[in-house]
């Protein structure tokens, strides 16, 4: 089956037409200044390319939904090539309001620490899988590393879509070298230890 992306936003009427950059000018400005000061990103790397694209979003020269679609599709194509896997049809639900994300997370009945992204697996060939991302948290808590965190979240859930029986630990083992290859960077060891699932 060919992977295909269906896009949607959380449908809370108060946030359906949210223009994130206009609604959050202070966060956008801080992120833009932070991105412009980053000097340890390898030239020509995936992270440099996506940070430049994200800067255009922050400058209101590009649309954040389009940017996220590009990152998602590029991540999927990279994983498809590296792992020789086929993806199911996937709905990508982008939550610009953490309350919307919280409602969807609670509806899954899952317990444990609330993530910034999760997948609802397909229950039949006619029902797409659904990856849900809490963009408000990713954008607000650490906007200067938004691109790297977005890629890590997207790739992790894409891995869950093709390896649904893998443990979190096994998924992270796959995720880190793949994300490093995609972004052409080395993830800090402290990041990996913080985000590794508890055993």
Contacts of 84 (CB under 8 A, 6+ apart): none
For each of the chain's 199 residues, which pLDDT tens digit applies?
445 444 454 544 333 334 555 666 666 666 555 544 444 677 888 888 998 898 888 888 888 899 999 999 999 999 999 999 999 999 999 998 899 999 999 998 887 889 999 999 988 878 899 999 999 888 876 666 889 899 999 999 999 999 999 999 999 999 999 999 999 988 888 777 766 554 3
Helix-strand-coil split of the chain, %, nearest 5: 55, 10, 35
In angstroms, the CA 138 to CA 140 distance is 6
Q: What's the CA gap between 138 and 184, in Å, rounded?
A: 21
Report the C-alpha gap between 21 and 113 in whole angstroms: 28
Tokens of 6: 């269906």
Q: How many CB atoms lie within 10 A of CB 174?
A: 17
Token duo for residue 121: 């697996």
Q: 3-class DSSP state for residue 150?
A: helix
* Coil vs helix vs strand at 10: coil
Q: Number of structural domains, the chain?
A: 1
Where in the sequence is the domain holding 128, given as residue range(s)? 4-195
10 Å CB burial of residue 139 (0-12, 13-18, 19+) is buried
Distance CA 95, CA 102 (A): 9
Beta partners for 95? 134
Give the pLDDT confidence score for residue 31 in this predicted structure: 59
78 near 119, Cβ under 8 Å? no
Specify the pLDDT at position 5. 47
Closest listed residue to residue 146, CA positions, set 92, 68, 76, 94 = 68
């Amino acid at each position: 089956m060919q992977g295909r992306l269906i896009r949607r936003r959380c449908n809370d009427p108060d946030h359906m037409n949210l223009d994130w950059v206009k609604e959050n000018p202070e966060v956008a400005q801080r992120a833009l200044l932070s991105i412009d000061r980053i000097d340890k990103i390898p030239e020509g790397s995936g992270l440099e390319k996506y940070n430049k694209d994200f800067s255009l979003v922050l400058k209101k020269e590009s649309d954040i939904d389009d940017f996220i679609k590009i990152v998602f599709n590029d991540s999927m194509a990279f994983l498809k090539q590296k792992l020789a896997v086929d993806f199911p049809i996937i709905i990508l639900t982008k939550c610009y309001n953490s309350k919307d994300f919280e409602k969807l997370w609670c509806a899954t009945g899952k317990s444990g620490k609330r993530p910034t992204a999760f997948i609802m697996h397909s229950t039949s060939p006619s029902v797409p899988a659904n990856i849900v991302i809490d963009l408000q948290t990713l954008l607000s808590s650490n906007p200067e590393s938004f691109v790297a965190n977005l890629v890590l979240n997207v790739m992790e859930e894409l891995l869950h879509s093709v390896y649904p029986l893998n443990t979190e630990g096994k998924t992270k083992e796959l995720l880190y070298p793949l994300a490093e290859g995609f972004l052409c960077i080395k993830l800090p060891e402290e990041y990996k230890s913080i985000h590794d699932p508890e055993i």
